[in-house]
Chains A and B, each alone.
Chain A
């Protein structure tokens, strides 16, 4: 009798978990679908930006959280994506909807090559080199030699895509366009990460030498995940340029890379759905601080005080809850499950 009930529990446990996950996912999907019809134009713009940041933070998490290669320079890939997309649209005549896949392929290539040459750089040295890359990026974008394509200091204006669907205005259409791209990329990441490649990446993060002994081709995997991360971040950059309608070197300073890091850490660095939390955080919190400081002059300090708070938040999160929001939610779920589970009868 005891064994019977135990097997029944085992059999029902996974289905129950999937169904609860599916319920959450369905709720999230419903909110995402309804949101643009309820919100004002500005909030639709914000929601689009959250979707785009989510892709970028996911790109960061795949590289740093899952494969353990610390990148402080993912903002550079974001810039690369934004600029190549603009060059493709204005100089090659590629339509805006075809640009993200091409940008993605290109960024994958660049990231793969970068990752391939960076395999000799381990841990902290990779962090150092990518930190340097993030500092240098605006300088490269301002180069006179590239001014024909990048617009130099002035930047480039991007015309907003026109909605092909009668019932949707341009902002709503752009939102759905970004949402579709995000859903495809998230689903792909989720699939890859729970399969063979995902386990290989986690293995090489936790113990590279053991992973190599088990037959995982460490340099190739590292380079590939670098490519994938660059692809995700680059596509996010391309979409980010579309929704901003304007790109200039000033938007791609080191703070962008730090923002992606904040998003990753706050959401949970080794979590796919944590990227959503992270994206929500890095879009909403600065905006709230900005709005609050505009309400009255006596609140102006709020806009400035946010920066030291981000720093403190990075330190506190990493020391006290290294799993970020995703880790917090996961441990809360375990606790609730433990508290509500009926003890087995013996």
Chain B
């Protein structure tokens, strides 16, 4: 029973990573119907920035805050410089977008390897490993992961629900043409969305790195679980994504421990992806899309 509880709770901790990544993916998908294959690599890149800052002697939370600011600008720049141009290309197709996102993935992965090398690096955790909130079920870092994620989710909720800017961003994603008519600068709203998504991803990266060790392939597996989470929650539903993240975390951890073995965890995530796409493409909480011919 104790082992089961341990698996269940650390599943929730892993799920918090997938929740942030999935929410980042959904924010971008909802606005422009693009799947950002480079989301994980952007998060990894931000985590390396935090690593460098912390290595330079900055206190953890200062490095954390600067990294968030960097990630936000990073996301905005990527959107303004590359992604935004995609829509204006005369030959733009789904393939163009997918290839460009894979190109970004390779670019960020390769640049991180070039700058920081491919060896594993220890990444500090802000949560003392002997802190009072640790237990046999969850290490203090895992408790911290869950708490940080929940706080961030709450802030994101408040931002989109109760601020004018959040409302404008939702409007731009929902109906760009009408938004433009009421004076919302849709292009910039999309860029802000990318910035916010990159920021969410960087939190996942910084929370994942102490557990998984930091190297350019840090997020290679996490992004797969993030996809599974986003699809399970409904890829166009921002509330579904975090729930999907926690479900995937628990599901993968429990079946990794008791059913399929730890070697097949990623394969299981792929199974979730395929099952959702084939049997219920709208996910648990998504909207069923009807296309007029």
A120 CB contact (under 8 Å) in B82, B113, B221, B278 = B278
Interface size on A, residues (CB 8 A): 45
| A318 contacts across to B, CB distance below 8 A | 96, 99-100, 103
Residues of B within 8 A of A124 (CB): 33-35, 94, 97-98
Q: From residue A258, how far is it (CB to closest CB) to chain B in Å?
A: 6
> Closest approach, in angstroms, between the C-beta of B269 and any C-beta of chain A?
7
Within residues 249 to 293 of chain B, which ones have a CB less than 8 A from any CB in chain A? 263-264, 266-267, 269-270, 273-274, 277-278, 281, 293
Cβ of B98 and Cβ of A72 under 8 Å apart? Answer: yes
> Is the Cβ of B220 less than 8 Å from the Cβ of A135?
yes
Interface contact B114-A139, CB-CB below 8 Å: no
Q: When the two chains form their complex, are residues B263 and A309 in contact, meaning their CB atoms are under 8 A apart? A: no
B56-109 contacts to A (CB < 8 Å):
82, 85-86, 89, 91, 94-100, 102-109
Contact B220 A315 (CB under 8 A): no
Query: Among B98, B106, B114, B263, which residue has its beta carbon within 8 angstroms of that of A304?
Result: B114
Asked if residues A308 and B110 are in contact (CB atoms below 8 Å), the reply is yes
- With contact pairs A139-B267, A308-B107, A311-B109 given, residues A319 and B86 touching in the complex (Cβ less than 8 Å): yes
CB distance from B76 to the nearest CB of A (A): 18
The answer to the question of B37 belonging to the interface, with a C-beta cut-off of 8 Å to chain A, is: yes
Q: Is the CB of A305 within 8 A of B114?
A: yes
Whole-angstrom CA separation of A302 from B197 in the bound complex: 33
Interface 1/0 per residue, A187-229 and B, CB below 8 Å: 0000000000000000000000100000000000000000000
Q: Which residues of A from 291 to 346 have beta carbons under 8 Å from B?
A: 301, 304-315, 318-319, 322
Contacts A142-B263, A319-B86 given: A312-B95 contact, CB under 8 Å?
no
Which listed residue, B95, B221, B278, B293, touches A70 by the CB 8 Å rule?
B95
Q: How far is the CA of A301 from the CA of B274 in the complex (A)?
A: 40
Measured between C-beta atoms, what is the minimum distance from A113 to chain B in Å?
13
A residues in contact with B96, CB < 8 Å: 318-319, 322
**Smallest Cβ distance from A298 to chain B, in angstroms?**
16
Residues in A whose Cβ lies below 8 Å from that of B220: 135, 254
Complex alpha-carbon distance, A84 and B231, angstroms: 32
**Residues on B with beta carbons closer than 8 Å to the beta carbon of A261:** 99, 102
* Interface of chain B: mostly helix, strand, loop or mixed: helix
Q: Which of B86, B108, B269, B278 contacts A121 (CB 8 A)?
A: B278
Q: Does A50 contact B (CB under 8 A)?
A: no
- The answer to the question of A136 belonging to the interface, with a C-beta cut-off of 8 Å to chain B, is yes
Cβ-defined contact, B100 with A314, below 8 A: yes
Tell me, in angstroms, the Cα distance from A327 to B171 when the chains sit together. 40
Using Cβ atoms and an 8 Å threshold, which residues of chain A touch B85?
319
- B267 to A140, Cβ gap below 8 A? yes
Q: Which of A10-18, A126-134, A276-284 contacts B (4 or more CB under 8 A)?
A: A126-134
Query: Is A162 an interface residue when CB atoms closer than 8 A count as contact?
Result: no
Shortest Cβ gap from B218 to chain A (Å): 14
What 6 A-B pairs come out closest when comparing CB atoms?
A311-B107, A307-B110, A314-B103, A311-B106, A308-B110, A315-B103
Given contacts A304-B114, A319-B86, 13 further A-B contacts (CB under 8 A): A124-B33, A124-B94, A128-B35, A129-B274, A129-B277, A301-B114, A304-B110, A310-B106, A310-B110, A311-B104, A312-B107, A319-B89, A322-B96
23 residue pairs of the A-B complex, CB under 8 angstroms, read A72-B102, A121-B277, A124-B33, A124-B34, A125-B281, A128-B35, A128-B277, A129-B277, A131-B37, A132-B273, A133-B270, A136-B270, A139-B264, A261-B102, A265-B99, A307-B106, A308-B107, A308-B114, A311-B103, A311-B106, A313-B103, A314-B99, A318-B100
